[in-house]
Amino acid sequence: MEKLYLGIDVGSVSTNVVIIDGNNNIIDKLYIRTMGNPINALKEGLKHAKVKMSELGSDFMISGVGTTGSGRQLAGFMVGADVIKNEITAHAIAASTFIPNVNTILEIGGQDSKIIILKNNVISDFAMNTVCAAGTGSFLDRQAARLGIPIEEFGAHALNSTTDVRIAGRCAVFAESDMIHKQQLGYSKEDIINGLCEALVRNYLNNLAKGKDIKGPIVFQGGVAANIGIKKAFEKALGLEIYVPTHYDVMGAIGSALLAKQEVIQKQKTKFLGLEMADVDFKVKGFECSHCPNVCEVIGIYKDENLSARWGDKCGRWTNINIPSPTV
């Protein structure tokens, strides 16, 4: 019986599921758009994993599962995760497992971006964007749509640029105005796309990387690492070679699978509820608690119509699921 481990990263834009084996080989990976519905995205991912497992045959079994990303609590509850870990740690462990001695991780996802600095394979410093998405994938998504170019081809266009166009990248909205202005002036699409890539990189380096000690080897991961234009812009700005790992788009999920593996080996047991969870009906119902002026938005998770978990309250009064939710 070969033991496999499942890693799940439920992010704002994509939900990623990976299966790794005991030697950290990637057996399967899946990148699904969350589309604002993490429950459905995760169930789809689990269904896919189920198909993969039946293909592999009965010699293989999932022996542990880890979740990460902004939806880690929800996903962790749904599948019975052995480890629920923040995405900064998950990304760092994945990168340092596959690229030994990595010093800097640039990670740009759908709605957040991070920089992680490691020393001797241990995180020594990190930063994450705060309230603005101007330096993230969603920003590029938006501009690609406006230019009528599929996001997948976006980066390649940038490589054909011949003239530098400087686009204001501080704010996603103003960047769009500036881009339109440059279009009206008659700059080519390629130059504008390259300008956008450089604006994003400039924004990232100014916001996140300020004061950080960026040294090679540098790894670039997250969905945006698919964008060759951004990679080039980073190399130009930093004057260093940037390495994009093979599974750049699912590194968070890989990290959580690695963490689950470690946890299960240590504990000798798993809390995994099985891939059948793909067929269970999960619903989320929220209500505003009226007990105090904080008016917490409490979320209840229903598993086959039964209330199974609740969170979102500051005081913890709704954590006990035996108290019925107020009727809304």
Partner 1 sequence: MKITFPHMGNTYITIKAILEELDIDVVCPPKCSKKTMELGTKYSPEFVCMPFKLNIGNYIEGIEKGADTIFMLTGCGPCRFGIFSSLQKEIMLDLGYKIDFITSDRFSNIEGLKEFYNLLNKASGKKGVFKILNTLKKGLKLLDEVDELNDLMNKVRPREIKKGEVDHLAIEFENEIITVQGFKASFALIDEYNQKLKSIEIDKDKDVIKIGIVGEIYTLIENYLNLNVEKKLGNMGVESHRSTTTSKFVRDTLDFIPLIRSDKKQVYKAASPYLATPVGGHGIHTIGNTLLYKEQGYDGIIHILPFTCMPEIVARSILPTIEREKDIPILTLVIDEMTGEGGYETRIEAFVDLLNKRREVKDYGKAISWN
Positions in the binding site for partner 1 (CB under 8 A)? 70, 83, 85-89, 93, 112, 120-126, 128, 130-131, 211, 258-259, 262-263, 266, 292-295, 314-316
Residue (87 or 178) nearer to partner 1, CB:
87
Residue (120 or 184) nearer to partner 1, CB:
120
Min dist CB 36 to partner 1, Å, is 15
Residue (89 or 103) nearer to partner 1, CB:
89
Min dist CB 63 to partner 1, Å, is 16
For residue 242, count other CB atoms closer than 10 A to its CB: 19
Residue (128 or 147) nearer to partner 1, CB:
128
Nearest to 271 by CA among 20, 42, 53, 65: 65
SS3 236: helix
Degrees, nearest 5: CA angle 56-57-62: 75
Min dist CB 278 to partner 1, Å, is 26
Where are the alpha helices (H) located in 57-84, listed in sequence order?
Answer: 72-79
Residue 36 contacts by C-beta under 8 Å, 6 or more apart in sequence? none
The structure tokens listed for 138 are 């969603």
Nearest to 114 by CA among 95, 134, 87: 87
Min dist CB 213 to partner 1, Å, is 8
Min dist CB 10 to partner 1, Å, is 12
Inter-residue contact 313 to 296 (CB < 8 Å): yes
Min dist CB 9 to partner 1, Å, is 13
Min dist CB 16 to partner 1, Å, is 17
Min dist CB 90 to partner 1, Å, is 9
CA distance 274 to 192: 48
Inter-residue contact 244 to 225 (CB < 8 Å): yes
Residue (86 or 325) nearer to partner 1, CB:
86
SS3 190: helix
Query: How many angstroms separate the Cα of 288 from the Cα of each of 38, 52, 106?
Result: 21, 41, 38
Residue (201 or 289) nearer to partner 1, CB:
289
Inter-residue contact 142 to 175 (CB < 8 Å): no
CA distance 195 to 198: 5
One-letter amino acid for residue 116 of the chain: I
Residue (87 or 191) nearer to partner 1, CB:
87
Query: How many angstroms separate the Cα of 139 from the Cα of each of 27, 131, 133, 161, 241?
Result: 32, 13, 7, 20, 24
Residue (49 or 83) nearer to partner 1, CB:
83
Min dist CB 151 to partner 1, Å, is 24
Residue (122 or 185) nearer to partner 1, CB:
122
CA 165 to centroid of chain Cα atoms: 30
